[in-house]
Amino acid sequence: MTQYHSKPVSEDGIVNWSTEENAIWHDLVARQMSVIQGRACDAYLHGLKLLDLPRDRVPQLPEINRVLMETTGWQVEPVPALIDFDRFFNLLGNKCFPVATFLRSRDEFDYLQEPDFFHEIFGHCAMLTNPDFAAYTEHYGQLGQAATPKQRAYLARLYWFTVEFGLVREGKQTKIYGGGILSSPGETLYSLESDVPIRDDFDLQTVLRTPYRIDIMQPKYFVIDELSQLFQISQLNLLKQADLAIEAGLLPPLFKPKEPAHVE
């Protein structure tokens, strides 16, 4: 499934990052900082300031955890490169955000399918300092624990179009809060400035029924009015909403199917 393997974590949460990994981290952060200004939402930029991520080295988990604990009571939890849904939902439901302790190689500097340390820390952790976003993510994990496999498949789209690829209005502007966008320079620009994708007002049933692919620029984004809307969404009976979406069925995909790998 993946060429990457999480690096060992000591008892006190320290990862022995290499000199090359520190250099890759520096270059990733420098590149992304140059494009998020004026595009990331205020809550994300505020969280990033609180985290005060180092530029010259990869941050350590205890540094992140100290800030998250002080703001919303969350923690990051080191995990292997891939974990199953049961553990994923269990961690979120207990205010622990799973973080794979590996960093992309230079060969995949621009894009990799697996969520690496940069994606999880730079993309997501700043938003976890926001109370509304943090409460939404915790409740999502608790819902996932209670959901059937079929319901989980539909709830995955809710996570995708909010936590990963969500947009939010700030005054008359549209800004980014989704970590999948905020860790990608190309998608940061594309999501806001390209005339190709659709940007729709958030509608829960439409979100639950909209197919997505993980390996392309998103053809559609959903825009919430403010971050407090996430908390309001989390208070709905989302399992019932998932059942309604299952009954209605998926909407037609806005992308071509992925071509199967060619085998000689």
Q: What is the CATH number of the domain that holds 180?
A: 1.10.800.10
d(CA 118, CA 228): 26
Residue ranges of the chain with per-residue pLDDT less than 70: 1-2, 260-264
Residue 260: Cβ-neighbour burial (10 angstroms; 0-12, 13-18, 19+): exposed
Asked, for residue 263, whether it belongs to a domain, the answer is no
Q: What is the pLDDT of residues 202-254, one digit of tens each?
A: 999 999 999 999 999 999 999 999 999 999 999 999 999 999 999 999 999 99
Asked, for residue 217, whether it belongs to a domain, the answer is yes
Number of domains within the chain = 1
Q: Find where tokens 């008892």 sit.
A: 11
Asked, for residue 41, whether it belongs to a domain, the answer is yes
Handedness of CA 197, 200, 202, 204 (dihedral sign): negative
CA dihedral of 7, 10, 16, 17, whole degrees rounded to 10: 50
Q: Find where tokens 């860790």 sit.
A: 183
Cβ-based neighbours of 87, under 8 Å, separated by 6 or more = 79, 98
Helices 149-159 + 131-146 axis angle, to 10: 160
Asked, for residue 262, whether it belongs to a domain, the answer is no
Nearest to 103 by CA among 215, 213, 216, 3: 3
d(CA 141, CA 143): 5
The pair of structure tokens assigned to 262 is 């060619």
Helices (H), the chain: 19-36, 42-51, 61-71, 85-93, 117-118, 131-146, 149-159, 179-182, 185-193, 204-208, 228-234, 238-248
Asked, for residue 4, whether it belongs to a domain, the answer is no
Say if CB 42 and CB 170 are below 8 A apart: yes
What is residue 263's predicted lDDT score, i.e. its pLDDT?
Answer: 47
Asked, for residue 203, whether it belongs to a domain, the answer is yes
Asked, for residue 30, whether it belongs to a domain, the answer is yes
What is residue 257's predicted lDDT score, i.e. its pLDDT?
Answer: 85
Q: Which domain holds residue 119?
A: 19-248
Asked, for residue 24, whether it belongs to a domain, the answer is yes
Q: Find where tokens 């995990």 sit.
A: 79
b/e map of 208-238 (b: 16 or more CB within 10 Å)?
Answer: bbbebeeeeebebbbebeebebbbebbeeeb
